[in-house]
């Protein structure tokens, strides 16, 4: 009996079939778990925006500074100084915008910090820096009127800078004068006097009782030439009663008119006028200073002469003051070196009535008040010309 078995050919076929099956089992079909690509996690949806942009430099310390988030809210947010102090700011009720509310310093670096959380629940860091401008110099300013002061109806507002201002337009844009009742007026830049100076005066005398608020937002202002403003300045003052001196040199008399009523009409002596140096200047002067005792000099004619009850009306040496030596000719002749001489009694009475800013209207002489006569000759300039001296009007 013969035994049956596989032929060699059949055995080979069986082995091949097994190999093919194994290979097929190792290579997955499309869509199988073995062929799927690795998944990438979705990016956070919260988007943080900085104003100015993070990393900004040469930023004005008074520029608008904020950070906001879209598609999310702030969980924490701050801007800090180099020593870690948090800068004052406010977060809006929706917690989407943080706004800085205090001026920054010059030449400083500030750092943003905090976290925003998106609507997808994922955090986004608040981070970055900003640097402020580094001035080459910082310029300060002084005012002629003190806070709460009561002044006369001709008082100008004077801002005197301790250096020359290159960009007068930028400075003037930062200045605001608010009056009650509303009063027409204008700024004007006068020639530099150890530094730039800008004056504001009304078109006509102030109305008595007017309240005046001056705001000079000068901190952070670029003055040009590498200079920046030192600080903001505010002044609030009031216009007092109307008191005007009428001083006609040809009459040899002087009247004081208060609120429309003549309260003094006295004999005086004005400048002799034979030389330019002793001509009392015609024009609207302004009372600026008062001295019960004052040493006056006019070399080579006299020096350190003690005068009483001296009220300064210009910076060229003109005063209204007592002079017993000219009492005999007061009311009949002009013999002074340019001042207005009164008797001791009349000078004391007027002295006690005068306040800063009172106008003294001199007429009847051959030389007019001008820039050569000192710092306040504002009323000698006609109104259209005065307006043209504004940097904004000129521009």
Active site residues: 321, 339
At residue 376, the 3 state secondary structure works out as coil
The DSSP output letter for 4 is P
- Provide CB contacts within 8 A for 376, sequence distance 6+: 156, 158, 285, 286, 288, 314, 315
Contact indicator for 368, 281 with CB cutoff of 8 Å: yes
- How many CA atoms within 13 Å lie on the side-chain side of 295? 3
Q: Is 241 exposed, middle or buried (0-12, 13-18, 19+ CB in 10 A)?
A: middle
Q: Determine which helix (DSSP H) or strand (DSSP E) holds 196, and give its type and residue range.
A: none
Instruction: Enumerate the H helices of the chain as residue ranges.
Output: 8-26, 168-173, 344-353, 383-388, 391-394
Comparing CA positions, the residue from 248, 249, 265, 267 lying closest to residue 323 is 267
Cα-Cα-Cα-Cα dihedral sign, residues 19, 23, 26, 31 = negative
**Nearest-CA neighbor of 148 among 202, 211, 208?**
211
Measured on CA atoms in the order 332, 333, 334, 340, is the torsion positive or negative?
negative
């Amino acid at each position: 009996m013969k035994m049956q078995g596989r032929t060699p050919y059949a055995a080979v076929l069986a082995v091949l079939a097994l190999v093919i099956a194994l290979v097929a089992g190792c290579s997955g079909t499309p869509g199988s778990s073995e062929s799927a690509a690795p998944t990438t996690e979705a990016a956070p949806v919260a988007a943080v925006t900085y104003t100015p942009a993070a990393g900004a430099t040469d930023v004005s310390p008074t520029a608008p500074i904020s950070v906001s988030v879209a598609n999310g809210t702030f969980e924490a947010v701050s801007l800090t100084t180099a020593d870690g102090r948090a800068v004052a700011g406010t977060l809006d009720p929706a917690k989407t915008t943080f706004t800085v509310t205090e001026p920054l310093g010059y030449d400083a670096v500030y750092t943003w910090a905090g976290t925003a959380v998106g609507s997808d629940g994922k955090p986004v860091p608040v981070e970055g820096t900003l640097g402020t401008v580094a001035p080459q110099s910082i310029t300060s300013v002084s005012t002629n009127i003190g806070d709460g002061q009561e002044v006369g109806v001709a008082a100008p507002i004077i801002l005197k800078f301790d250096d020359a201002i290159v960009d007068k337009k930028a400075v003037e844009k930062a200045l605001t004068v608010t009056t009650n009742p509303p009063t027409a007026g204008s700024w004007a830049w006068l020639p530099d006097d150890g530094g730039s100076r800008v004056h504001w005066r009304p078109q006509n005398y102030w109305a008595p009782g007017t309240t005046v608020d001056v705001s000079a937002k000068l901190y952070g202002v670029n003055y040009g030439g590498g200079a920046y403003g030192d600080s903001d300045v505010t002044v609030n003052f009031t216009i007092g009663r109307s008191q005007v001196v009428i001083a006609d040199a040809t009459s040899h008399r002087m009247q004081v008119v208060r609120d429309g009523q003549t309260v003094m009409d006295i004999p005086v002596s004005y400048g002799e006028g034979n030389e330019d140096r002793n001509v009392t200047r015609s024009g609207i002067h302004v009372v600026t200073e008062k001295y019960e005792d004052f040493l006056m000099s006019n070399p080579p004619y006299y020096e350190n002469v003690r005068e009483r009850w001296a009220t300064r009306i210009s910076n060229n040496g003109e005063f209204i003051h007592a002079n017993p030596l000219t009492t005999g000719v007061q009311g009949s002749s002009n013999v002074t070196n340019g001042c207005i001489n009164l008797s001791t009694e009349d000078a004391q009475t007027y002295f006690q009535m005068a306040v800063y800013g009172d106008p003294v209207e001199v007429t009847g002489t051959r030389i007019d008040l001008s820039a050569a006569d000192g710092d306040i000759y504002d009323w000698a300039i006609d109104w259209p010309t005065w307006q043209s001296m504004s940097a904004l009007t000129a521009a």
